[in-house]
Amino acid sequence: MQAHDDPWQRPQAELWDEQAAATYDTPGSGAFAPEILEPMVATLADLAEGGRALEMAVGTGRVAIPLREAGVDVVGIELSPAMVAQLRTKVGEDELPVTIGSMVDTRVEGEFSLVYLVFNTIGNLYTQDEQVRCFQNAAAHLRPGGRFVLELWVPRPQPAGASHAQVFTAGQGYLGVDVLDVSTQRGVSHHVRFGTDGSAHVGFSPFRYVWPGEMDLMARLAGLELEHRWADFTRAPFTSASTSHVSVYRLPG
């Protein structure tokens, strides 16, 4: 995408195109690091309690594949055919079925003991209404007593008069900067990747950020109740200093 393009005018399926899918996986590092994936898979497997799991926005199978290897029957929903094509290089349709569609309204046959949506992905829905409908869609897939699990960052709106740009990652070869608009709860992540030749590629991903309390209300509208809120998948306590949270909602019954 060119730097002058408006990221809000591009559908999510276009943002997650063949180029994004081809470069998404970073085996052993970043979001694929063992210290991130191992506690996530262990906690999700415990919460599934031996039942089926549905991953919304399954992507290239970063979580679904190791969760399946841990003994959980997993299926997925994914908006981007390019991401699913990358997943298919690792696992077949019979082993990990995926339905192409939006997490807002795509239905998968059957009931599940666990529906999960990780890595800030609910922010890919640009409006509060879509996010509420996502909660309702998750609840519609759950059996009584089933759980909906979300992983999300804690918003860090700037104080009055401060710069709107916030660096969220600064590492070798990569710089990530968020630009937030508190009037709309919208933001754009700027992803700057540096080549060894001194070149730089800039990508953009728009999102709508959600407060933890706002999520709790969305859950109530969907008939769900908050069961746990942790700082991360290690189940560390969630405090005012936490920069992320894992929220577990349960369908009564």
171 and 242 together in one domain: no
**pTM (two decimals):** 0.90
2 part of a folded domain? no
90 part of a folded domain? yes
User: What is the structure's pLDDT at 179?
Assistant: 86
Question: Which CATH number do you get for residue 245?
Answer: 3.40.50.150
1 part of a folded domain? no
39 and 97 together in one domain: yes
Q: Which of 7-21, 169-183, 218-232 has the lowest mean pLDDT?
A: 7-21
Q: What is the average per-residue pLDDT within 130-139? A: 98
User: What is the structure's pLDDT at 118?
Assistant: 98
182 and 72 together in one domain: no
114 part of a folded domain? yes
**2 falls in which pLDDT band (50, 70, 90)?**
very low
49 and 127 together in one domain: yes
109 and 184 together in one domain: no
Domain range spanning residue 177? 165-205
181 and 232 together in one domain: no
Looking at residue 137, the DSSP 8-state letter turns out to be H
Q: Which of 18-32, 41-55, 83-97, 144-158 has the lowest mean pLDDT?
A: 18-32
Residue 150, sorted as left (phi over 0), alpha (psi -120 to 50) or beta, turns out to be beta
**61 falls in which pLDDT band (50, 70, 90)?**
very high
CB distance 223 to 251 below 8 Å: yes
Q: What is the average per-residue pLDDT within 94-123? A: 97
**245 falls in which pLDDT band (50, 70, 90)?**
very high
Q: Which of 30-34, 36-40, 105-109 has the lowest mean pLDDT?
A: 30-34
43 and 80 together in one domain: yes
Please report, rounded to a whole number, the percentage of residues in the chain having pLDDT higher than 70: 94
96 and 138 together in one domain: yes
**193 falls in which pLDDT band (50, 70, 90)?**
confident
Torsion angle defined by CA atoms of residues 21, 114, 36 and 196, in that order, rounded to the nearest 10 degrees: 10
160 part of a folded domain? no
Helix axis angle, 128-141 to 212-221, nearest 10°:
50
User: What is the structure's pLDDT at 161?
Assistant: 65
94 and 195 together in one domain: no
- Is the pLDDT at 41 greater than 80? The verdict is yes
188 and 220 together in one domain: no
92 and 47 together in one domain: yes
131 and 171 together in one domain: no
Q: How many domains does the chain have?
A: 2
Q: Which residues contact 140 (CB under 8 A, 6 or more apart)?
A: 107
